Amino acid sequence: MRILLTGAAGFIGGHIRSRAVERGHEVVALDAYLPQAHGSGGAHDSTIRRLDLRHDPLDEVLEGIDAVCHQAAMVGNGVDAQDLPDYAEHNDAGTARLLAAMSRAGVRDLVLASSMVVYGDGRYTCPADGDVPPATRGVEDLASGRYDPRCPVCAGEIAWRAISEDTPFLPRTSYAASKVAQEHYAGAWCTLDDARAIALRYHNVYGPGMPADTPYAGVAAIFRSAIARGEAPKVFEDGLQVRDFVHVSDVARVNVLAIEQVAMHPAGLTPYNVASGHPFTIGEMAATLSAAAGGTPPEVTGDYRRFDVRHVVASPKAASEGLGFTAEIAPEVGLAQLATDPLRPR
Ligand code: UD1
């Protein structure tokens, strides 16, 4: 297939490109080289065309394309409210322009990088009130070291559970809001053009080539960078918050499976969680990395961030049934390797 790949110079995009080429596909690679991700003066790969979805012409690059794999995005949680226009312009206006150009070019198949952040705090079970979204964590609870959220109805103890793709959207950050909007725009394009989109809702992606620590980095890059500096990873809250760490080679594989199968999907947007299926606490993750690096053990600080969700874990079942995808790299193996995996310098 001839695939248009946006975000090809990024961490995940680079792995998708290699995997797609290995599978015999032809890849037209694009990237805007955002300074937040790539620095402002660095060398650029001459095989990747520099193109900004917000304003550059798109018709020519879409000629003869069978499917688009859209990974380009401004990532991270966002630093402050001044980031809002950038998230909206890069992620949402950029995607809307791409979809309009796909429509003109007659391209009907899209694979979209989405995220588990669309679910926000996820879903919990309350012994008294059943299936509930958790109440927003109060400052008093957080400051007194009570990190688990309460039931929104009775304020009692609740237990997290693995979420499925029909869980309602509850975005909590600028980035999460932009990912929800991207899915909605892609859904609208599907209706207008009788087209097909697969939204891959990534959990915490890690692996070789991760960008070194930036204000937009996730926890795996932050801890890996701390270890490289000879410092202890600083674990927030009590370290018992749960995530699902999925290796970038698995993420690349599921993207290529989705590209190859999107045309067999029904018209409309089909979402899939992309997860390892092995929940891991942030404390365990930090300890695994430190031990593998022979470095300083993690420090549990009790610090907290208001926007953090406490636990978020998804069911990987739908991707297994719909795409034949099961993650191959267990987090205890991949996270130990991350201790020595090379990072991408800025
Ligand atoms: C992360 C990404 C998000 C992505 C999602 C799914 C970032 C900033 N967040 O969300 O964009 O869509 O995965 O792939 O890239 N923590 C520490 N110490 C630190 C930093 C964080 O203990 O120095 C803890 C946080 O309190 C949190 C957990 O690690 O509990 C995960 O944090 P983080 O990776 O920032 O955000 P996610 O919500 O997992």
HEC assignment per residue over the chain: CEEEEECCCCHHHHHHHHHHHHCCCEEEEEECCCHHHHCCCCCCCCCCEECCCCCCCCCHHHCCCCEEEECCCCCCCCCCHHHHHHHHHHHHHHHHHHHHHHHHHCCCEEEEEEEHHHHCCCCEEECCCEEECCCCCCHHHHHCCCCCCECCCCCCECEECCECCCCCCCCCCHHHHHHHHHHHHHHHHHHHHCCEEEEEEECEEECCCCECCCCCCCHHHHHHHHHHCCCCCEECCCCCCEECEEEHHHHHHHHHHHHHHHHHCCCEEEEEEECCCCCEEHHHHHHHHHHHHCCCCCEECCCCCCCCCCCCCECCHHHHHHHCCCCCCCHHHHHHHHCCCCCECC
From 204, 214, 229, 272, mutation site for ligand 1 pocket: most ligand atoms within 8 A of C-beta: 204
- The C-alpha atoms of residue 26 and residue 4 are separated, in whole angstroms, by 9
Q: Give, using CA atoms, the residue closest to atom 32 of ligand 1.
A: 219
* pTM: predicted TM-score of the whole model, two decimal places: 0.95
Q: How many angstroms does the Cα of residue 127 sit away from the middle of ligand 1?
A: 29
Query: What count of other Cβ atoms lies within 10 Å of the Cβ of residue 130?
Result: 10
Please tell me if the CB atom of residue 270 comes closer than 6 angstroms to any atom of ligand 1: no
Please tell me if the CB atom of residue 175 comes closer than 6 angstroms to any atom of ligand 1: yes
**pLDDT tens for each residue of the chain, 346 residues long:** 999 999 999 999 999 999 999 999 999 999 999 887 787 766 688 899 999 999 999 999 999 999 999 999 999 877 789 999 999 999 999 999 999 999 999 999 999 999 999 999 999 999 999 999 999 999 999 999 999 999 999 999 999 999 999 999 999 899 999 999 999 999 999 999 999 999 999 999 999 999 887 777 889 989 999 988 899 999 999 999 999 999 999 999 999 999 999 999 999 999 999 999 999 999 999 999 999 999 889 999 999 998 899 999 999 999 999 999 999 999 999 999 999 998 887 6
Q: Which atom of ligand 1 is nearest to the CA of 282?
A: 29
Q: How many angstroms does the Cα of residue 218 sit away from the middle of ligand 1?
A: 5
Query: What are the C-alpha distances in Å from 73 to residues 1, 201, 263?
Result: 23, 14, 24
Please tell me if the CB atom of residue 92 comes closer than 6 angstroms to any atom of ligand 1: no
Q: How many angstroms does the Cα of residue 120 sit away from the middle of ligand 1?
A: 12
Q: pLDDT for 177-212, tens place per residue?
A: 999 999 999 999 999 999 999 999 999 999 999 988
